[in-house]
């Protein structure tokens, strides 16, 4: 399709969605397309494998901090750093599965360094201290670009702290993996640490530097104090690991699915589902978002007719005291299903996208035309509702993330290319930086 016509159709679609939302009393947040990424193996391309679902789907993730975007792309075993204009600043890449970046100008002997790094996969990926720093180039008036070879296995998640250190969740080689017999889960995830100049420093495991690999990591976060929080899932619960800025373990907090806090009276029957654990950006505090399901009792037969969603809560957990704060009730999404027999209203839980540094919880769920968004001030209990417009052809794959200052960014993939966009939702909570 002609690009001009495609743009016109997209604008028209946004107008239709905005009009429909207006009739329901909701406004659509303005979306800004920042840049696109093509599919391939060159330094500024990504490999979104499995878009047809044949390989389990892609799992490329996006992270944004201070206007810089980081893309963890397991399909091509690399991590990209780009500006909001799409300019490539750094590429951390596995030299065995990627060509050497075109801007890399290795100094004399660098080829040997790359080969040594590749050959050190067993040691470096599992805790060696091989340097992963690659060549750099600097053009007049532009920031220095880095090409950093490292033998990644599956770089799945990233975060960056205020000192520009990069943390990458990756897997150790199979011969370095361990097994937790109690939890019946493989231990193979570690967090690689790279200095701001691209140097590979070390890796973190459960006990800290060089420790036992984690159970499958679901999320990784950096705080205002440059402390690192790792959240893992097991068969029976979750674990949160809180490290100081030097990588020393401060807290290891296990959560059992059978022993989650409950807002119900003692003796009430309910089924809690731990949806997400997120850290407070400023304090040593965790937030647990839990969805609760209750029994449906048939009024005539008095028989159990199954479970239905009842409510969602956020529980703050103070790490120093080990105590939970008061449960905070979250709103539920209410929608309408229509078919030939009529209409039916329903309720379902939102997904917790994240919590900002000022205590706003961002709740999101797919709906017709994109995503329904609710913002809740956890302190004042104020709520705002909006719509994020996403085209149908962009639903092949999309990864959303919330920055600490309240900006929602997304990687939206079509079968032809991937777009990086953002919604300046920080303006809704008064956090635009002047």
Mean predicted confidence (pLDDT) in 209-219: 97
For the cut 60, the answer to whether the pLDDT of residue 362 exceeds it is yes
For the cut 90, the answer to whether the pLDDT of residue 126 exceeds it is no
Q: Residue 405 is encoded by which pair of tokens?
A: 């200052």
What backbone phi and psi angles, to 5 degrees, belong to 53? Answer: 85, 0
Coil, helix or strand at residue 362? strand
Mean pLDDT estimate for the chain: 85
Mean predicted confidence (pLDDT) in 329-335: 95
Lowest mean pLDDT: which of 206-215, 332-341, 352-361, 365-374? 332-341
- pLDDT per position as a tens digit, 283-301: 999 999 999 999 887 777 7
For the cut 80, the answer to whether the pLDDT of residue 239 exceeds it is yes
For the cut 80, the answer to whether the pLDDT of residue 111 exceeds it is no
H or E segment to which residue 112 belongs: helix 110-119
For the cut 60, the answer to whether the pLDDT of residue 13 exceeds it is no
Query: How many of the other CB atoms lie within 10 Å of CB of 300?
Result: 6
Cα separation of 151 and 320, whole Å?
A: 38
For the cut 60, the answer to whether the pLDDT of residue 4 exceeds it is no
Q: Is 208 left (phi over 0), alpha (psi -120 to 50) or beta?
A: left
Cβ(410)–Cβ(30) under 8 Å?
Answer: no
H or E segment to which residue 313 belongs: strand 304-318
Q: pLDDT above 70 covers what percent of the chain? A: 82
For the cut 60, the answer to whether the pLDDT of residue 96 exceeds it is yes
3-state secondary structure string across 16-27: HHHHHHHHCCCE
H or E segment to which residue 370 belongs: strand 370-377
Q: Residue 206 is encoded by which pair of tokens?
A: 């459960």
For the cut 50, the answer to whether the pLDDT of residue 185 exceeds it is yes
Q: How far is CA 296 from CA 283, 310, 312, 328, 407, in A?
A: 40, 10, 17, 24, 39
Of the two residues 126 and 238, the one the predictor is more confident about is: 238
pLDDT on residue 65: 97
For the cut 90, the answer to whether the pLDDT of residue 77 exceeds it is yes
Q: Residue 2 is encoded by which pair of tokens?
A: 């002609």
**Per-residue confidence at 244, pLDDT binned at 50, 70, 90?**
very high
Cα separation of 57 and 432, whole Å?
A: 35
User: Any idea what the Cα angle at residue 230 is, between residues 225 and 236, rounded to 5°?
Assistant: 145
DSSP state of 254: E
Name, in order, each residue with C-beta under 8 angstroms of 168's C-beta and a sequence gap of 6 or more.
Answer: 72, 79, 92, 152, 155, 157, 158, 191, 192, 194
For the cut 70, the answer to whether the pLDDT of residue 11 exceeds it is no
pLDDT on residue 343: 82
pLDDT on residue 144: 80
Burial (CB count <10 Å: 0-12, 13-18, 19+), residue 197:
exposed
pLDDT on residue 14: 42
pLDDT on residue 318: 98
pLDDT on residue 22: 40
Name, in order, each residue with C-beta under 8 angstroms of 315's C-beta and a sequence gap of 6 or more.
Answer: 261, 287, 288, 290, 324, 325, 327, 328
pTM of the model: 0.85
DSSP 121-162: HHHHTTT--------EE--TTSPPEEEEE---S---EEEE-T
- pLDDT per position as a tens digit, 40-74: 999 999 998 766 555 555 689 999 999 999 999 99
């Amino acid at each position: 399709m002609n690009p001009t016509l495609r743009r016109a159709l997209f604008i028209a679609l946004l107008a239709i969605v905005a009009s429909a939302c207006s009739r329901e009393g909701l406004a659509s947040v303005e979306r800004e397309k920042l840049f696109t990424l093509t599919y391939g193996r060159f330094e500024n391309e990504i490999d979104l494998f499995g878009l047809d679902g044949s390989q389990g789907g892609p799992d490329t993730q996006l992270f944004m901090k201070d206007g810089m975007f980081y893309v963890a792309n397991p399909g091509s075993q690399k991590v990209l750093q780009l500006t909001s204009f799409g300019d490539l600043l750094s590429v951390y890449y596995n030299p065995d599965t990627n060509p050497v970046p075109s801007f890399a100008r290795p100094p004399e002997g660098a080829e040997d360094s790359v080969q040594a790094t590749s050959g050190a996969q067993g040691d470096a990926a599992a805790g060696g201290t091989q340097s992963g720093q690659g060549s750099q180039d600097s053009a007049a008036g532009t920031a220095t670009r880095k090409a950093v070879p490292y033998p990644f296995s599956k770089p799945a998640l990233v975060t960056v702290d205020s000192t520009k250190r990069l943390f990458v969740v990756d897997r150790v080689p199979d011969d370095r993996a361990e097994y937790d017999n109690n939890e019946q889960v493989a231990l193979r995830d570690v967090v690689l640490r790279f200095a701001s100049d691209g140097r590979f420093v070390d890796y973190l495991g459960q006990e800290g530097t060089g420790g036992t690999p984690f159970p499958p990591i679901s999320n990784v976060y950096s705080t205002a104090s440059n402390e690192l929080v790792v959240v893992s899932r097991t068969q029976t619960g979750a674990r949160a690991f809180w490290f100081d800025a030097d990588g020393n373990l401060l807290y290891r907090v296990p959560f059992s699915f059978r022993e989650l806090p409950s807002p119900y009276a003692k003796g009430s029957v309910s089924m809690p589902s731990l949806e997400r654990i997120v850290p407070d950006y400023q304090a040593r505090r965790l937030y647990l978002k839990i969805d609760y399901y209750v029994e449906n009792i048939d009024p005539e037969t008095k028989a159990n007719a199954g479970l239905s969603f009842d409510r969602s809560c956020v529980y703050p957990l103070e790490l120093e005291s080990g105590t939970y704060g008061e449960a905070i009730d979250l709103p539920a999404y209410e929608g309408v299903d229509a078919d030939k027999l009529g209409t039916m209203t329903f309720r379902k839980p939102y997904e917790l996208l994240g919590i900002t540094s000022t205590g706003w919880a961002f709740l999101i769920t797919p709906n017709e035309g994109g995503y329904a968004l609710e913002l809740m001030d956890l302190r004042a209990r104020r709520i705002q509702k909006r719509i994020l417009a996403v085209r149908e052809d962009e639903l092949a794959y999309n990864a959303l993330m919330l920055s600490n200052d309240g900006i929602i960014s997304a990687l939206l993939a079509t079968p032809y290319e991937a777009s990086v966009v953002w919604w300046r939702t920080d303006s809704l909570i008064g956090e635009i930086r002047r």
